[in-house]
Amino acid sequence: MDAKEVESLIRLGIPDAHVEVRDTTGGGDHFDALIVSAVFEGKGLVERHQTVYKALGEAMRVRVHALSLKTLTPAQYENRR
C-alpha cells in the first residue's frame, strides 16, 4: 500500500478533508497522516480516530500496520500556523 492510496481512501470516507499522508518506513505499512475536516467538530480524539479508521475500512485491519494520526478541525489547523 502506498501513501496515495491511504490518502484516497480517507478522502473517499471524509469528502471535505484536507489529507496529507507520509510513508514513514518506505515499506507501505507504516504511515503518518494529517487530516483536517469540519466533521471533527465537537468530537473527541477517539471519535476522530474512529472516523478515519472507518474510512480506511478493511485496509486498516489488513494492510496498515501502524498509523499515526493528527486529526484537526479547520479552526485548529489555522491556529497552529
Number of domains in the chain: 1
Q: Is the dihedral of CA 37, 65, 56, 20 positive or negative?
A: positive
Say whether 16 sits in a helix, a strand or coil: coil
Is residue 56 within 8 A of residue 10, CB to CB? The reply is yes
Given a cut of 90, whether residue 63 has pLDDT beyond it is no
Q: What is the CATH number of the domain that holds 42?
A: 3.30.300.90
Determine the average pLDDT of the residues in 22-34.
Answer: 93
- Report CA torsion sign: 70, 22, 35, 12: negative
CA distance 28 to 42: 32
Which residue segment(s) compose the domain that 34 sits in? Answer: 3-79
pLDDT tens, residue by residue, 7-25: 999 999 999 999 999 999 9
